Amino acid sequence: MFSENTKKSGCIEVICGSMFSGKTEELIRRLKRAQFAKQKIEIFKPTVDKRYSDLDVVSHDLHSIPCTPIKDPKRMLKVADDVEVVGIDEAQFFGEEIIEVAQELANRGIRVIAAGLDTDYLGKPFGPMPGLMAIAEDVQKVHAICVKCGNLANHSHRLSASKKLVVLGEKDVYEPLCRKCYNEAMAGEKNAE
């Protein structure tokens, strides 16, 4: 049993993958297990993510958990001293400062669990995710199933013509594709230009 003077060691866990791979579902599962163990948790998501709810983290399967939407990740540093676990959804939408914030929280003895897209719609590393994965004690890459061939999917193929980096959407805007099907789709789009 832990004594009052024992401070647990913090850590950083990253859950990454493509759209529809179950990242948020896994984040919610881990956070609910921490709640069941009577650990004090705080959950954050970027204010830009309003797809299902303003005040909840919601998976595509509509499982949810209450959260605090924030614009500046440094606000996470104001968590109460008794918080043991911090969950972060859609971590790719925070700037590079999320890496420093996660480090500081972990150094305080907090378990930090961050979920986010590891690559953008062009197949490039997405924002701070490579940095978060580099400093994490544990990284779990989850996969969707390719809607074209049924193989493991690791790409979020955008169906809209928008060239903006951040376009929020669901199955109407993105589809999960494997490497082969993604490369074929991108080649077809390039030839159509």
CA–CA dist 19, 175 (Å, integer): 7
- pLDDT tens, N- to C-terminus, the chain (193 residues): 444 545 678 999 999 999 999 998 999 999 999 999 999 999 999 888 766 666 667 666 667 777 888 999 999 999 989 999 999 999 999 999 999 999 999 999 999 999 999 999 999 999 999 999 999 999 999 999 999 999 999 999 999 887 887 776 666 789 999 999 999 999 988 777 6
Domain membership of residue 94 as a residue range: 11-143
Is residue 106 included in any domain, yes or no? Answer: yes
User: Is residue 71 assigned to a domain?
Assistant: yes
Q: Do the domain assignments include residue 43?
A: yes
For residue 21, being part of any structural domain is answered with yes
Three-state DSSP state, 130: helix
Could you tell me if residue 178 is inside a domain? no
In angstroms, the CA 149 to CA 153 distance is 9
Q: Is-catalytic flag, 42?
A: no
Residue 35 located in a structural domain: yes
Backbone angles phi, psi at 142, to 5 degrees: -105, 155
Q: Is residue 152 part of a domain?
A: no
Q: What is the spatial distance between Cα 88 and Cα 190, in angstroms, rounded to a whole number?
A: 35
Cβ-based neighbour number of residue 114 at 10 Å: 30
Candidate list 26, 42, 90, 175, residue with the active-site label: 90
CATH number at residue 54: 3.40.50.300
112 found inside a domain: yes
Q: What is the domain count for the chain?
A: 1
Q: Tell me the whole-structure pTM to 2 decimals.
A: 0.88
